[in-house]
């Protein structure tokens, strides 16, 4: 029994992505290479490809509280409730002081803040147009706090500000808090509202790193010679995590067991990645899991669609997994870069492989960059494997934050 208490499993998944608002739809569109990227009018920026989620904001939230909260919060509330429903736990009758909410983010509250600034300038800088909701919308514990308010959870909540590694980091935090016996049930993952705010488009444009294409569904092209940058998307993915003994006791469906993770920092540049630190992060996750590189069946790359990012990460993955049977895929060609949600969403897209042994492909690779070539890349069409028992998910972010998460078939 003690051994089961030290094993953490996923029992529920709630998500919204640009190409699906539940796991089944999301997975099918990944296998079929169906993009969720469309052309959109971005304030001050004109038309750009971007990824927006389609879900019912008021399925679990009243209009009054949505008005007070944030777009990121509404995504988090939807995903958390969907995960709880999926887990089939009797949520009304569990001790909510023993439930923790841990969400990775890149940003939050930017959508509402930009709108306030816009209204300020439309009204001669009259600060009476500045919302009294501004402070709770922008404090660093939102949107996790919005989830706890919505679900009457009295246990801990906080966000993990870890750039585009946020989705993985939220899950890792949930694992750690369960192992420390701080909580018995964790809601964790990542959320992002990025495509709703013009500021991030302007910033990536200034960097020369904003992806474009006459066909928006082809704008996100990781590993392709003709890629020209990131396509910005919003999204969310929240998991319910439990100790194995708890999940078995209530007869829960188990999606997989989290057996290893690695986190480190490049400490070399604000935005440029460091291949050696990425290799060390991957090896750290393997060591924690007690696995060899040959044990991994699927590696999901972070693969943003920037030249430096793709080449550096491919070098790391090749160093770590060359000569093994690990199939290497990526997800951002389908959905763009969902920022704080990316890691959690991309892991979710691969989890059904435990059941069907299919590896979804990376899409939009018409001309593979020679510097991104390696054996076992899965691109443009799915791959059927004999079995899938271990998945490793890479997720990296600005300021050099790196994360790798390993999930085992249960």
| Alpha-carbon gap, residue 193 to 183, rounded angstroms | 28
| The two three-digit tokens of residue 35, written as one number | 């993009």
| Among 55, 223, 76, 49, residue whose Cα is nearest residue 137 | 76
- In this structure, are strands 185-192 and 99-105 parallel, antiparallel, or unpaired? parallel
| Alpha-carbon gap, residue 217 to 349, rounded angstroms | 19
Candidate list 48, 213, 302, 334, residue with the active-site label: 302
Q: Is 337 a catalytic residue?
A: yes
Q: Is 121 a catalytic residue?
A: no
SS (H, E, C) 275-329: HHHHHHHHHHHHHHHCCCHHHCCEEEECCCCCHHHHHHHHHHHHHHHCCCCCEEE
Q: If you search the block for the tokens 């209530």, which residue do you land on?
A: 250
Question: Cβ distance 92 to 120 under 8 Å?
Answer: no
| Among 368, 391, 395, 371, residue whose Cα is nearest residue 380 | 368
Candidate list 16, 33, 79, 164, residue with the active-site label: 164
User: Within 10 A of 360 (CB to CB), how many other CB atoms are there?
Assistant: 28
Q: Is 302 a catalytic residue?
A: yes
| Alpha-carbon gap, residue 371 to 314, rounded angstroms | 8
The residues, any chain, with a CB within 8 Å of residue 307's CB and separated by 6 or more, are 227, 369
| The two three-digit tokens of residue 48, written as one number | 């750009």
Candidate list 48, 337, 338, 372, residue with the active-site label: 337
User: Within 10 A of 44 (CB to CB), how many other CB atoms are there?
Assistant: 10
Burial of 286 (0-12, 13-18, 19+ CB in 10 A): buried
| Alpha-carbon gap, residue 21 to 388, rounded angstroms | 25
- Which whole-number Å values give the CA distances from 283 to 253, 263, 289, 372, 392, in the listed order? 30, 10, 10, 20, 11
| The two three-digit tokens of residue 222, written as one number | 């990781």
Q: If you search the block for the tokens 């980091």, which residue do you land on?
A: 169
Taking CA 168 as the corner, what is the angle to CA 135 and CA 52, rounded to the nearest 5 degrees?
Answer: 60
Task: Give catalytic residue positions.
Answer: 164, 302, 337
């Amino acid at each position: 029994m003690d051994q089961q208490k030290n094993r953490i499993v996923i029992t529920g998944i709630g998500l919204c992505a640009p190409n699906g608002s539940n796991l089944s739809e999301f997975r099918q569109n990944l296998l079929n290479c169906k993009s969720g990227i469309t052309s959109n009018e971005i304030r001050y920026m004109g038309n750009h490809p971007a990824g927006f989620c389609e879900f019912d904001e008021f399925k679990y939230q009243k209009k009054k509280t949505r008005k007070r909260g944030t777009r990121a919060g509404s995504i988090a509330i939807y995903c958390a409730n969907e995960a709880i429903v999926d887990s089939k736990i009797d949520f009304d009758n569990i001790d909510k002081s023993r439930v923790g909410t841990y969400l990775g983010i890149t940003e939050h509250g930017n959508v509402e803040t930009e709108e306030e600034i816009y209204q300020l300038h439309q009204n001669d800088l009259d600060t009476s147009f500045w919302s009294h909701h501004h402070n709770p919308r922008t404090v660093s514990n939102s949107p996790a706090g919005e989830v706890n308010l919505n679900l009457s959870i009295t246990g801990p909540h906080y966000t993990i500000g870890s750039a585009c590694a946020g989705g993985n980091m939220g899950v890792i935090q949930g694992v750690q808090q369960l192992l420390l016996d701080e909580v018995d049930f964790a809601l964790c993952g990542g959320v992002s509202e990025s495509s709703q705010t013009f500021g991030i488009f302007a910033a990536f444009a200034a960097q020369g790193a904003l992806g474009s294409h006459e066909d928006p569904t082809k704008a996100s092209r990781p590993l392709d010679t003709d890629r020209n940058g990131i396509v910005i998307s919003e999204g969310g993915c929240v998991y319910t995590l439990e100790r194995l003994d708890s999940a078995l006791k209530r007869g829960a469906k188990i999606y997989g067991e989290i057996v290893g993770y690695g986190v480190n920092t490049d400490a070399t540049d604000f935005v440029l990645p460091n291949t050696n630190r990425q290799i060390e992060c991957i090896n750290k996750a393997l060591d924690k899991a007690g696995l060899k590189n040959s044990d991994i069946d699927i590696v999901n790359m972070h693969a943003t669609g920037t030249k430096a990012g793709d080449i550096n990460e491919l070098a790391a993955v090749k160093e770590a997994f060359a000569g093994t049977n690990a199939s290497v895929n990526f997800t951002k060609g389908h959905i763009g870069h969902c920022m704080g949600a990316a890691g959690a969403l991309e892991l979710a897209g691969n989890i059904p492989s435990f059941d069907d042994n299919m590896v979804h492909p990376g899409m939009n690779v018409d001309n593979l960059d020679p510097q991104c070539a390696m054996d076992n890349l899965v691109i443009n069409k799915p791959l059927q494997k004999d079995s899938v028992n271990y998945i490793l998910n890479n997720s990296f972010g600005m300021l050099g934050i790196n994360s790798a998460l390993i999930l085992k078939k249960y």
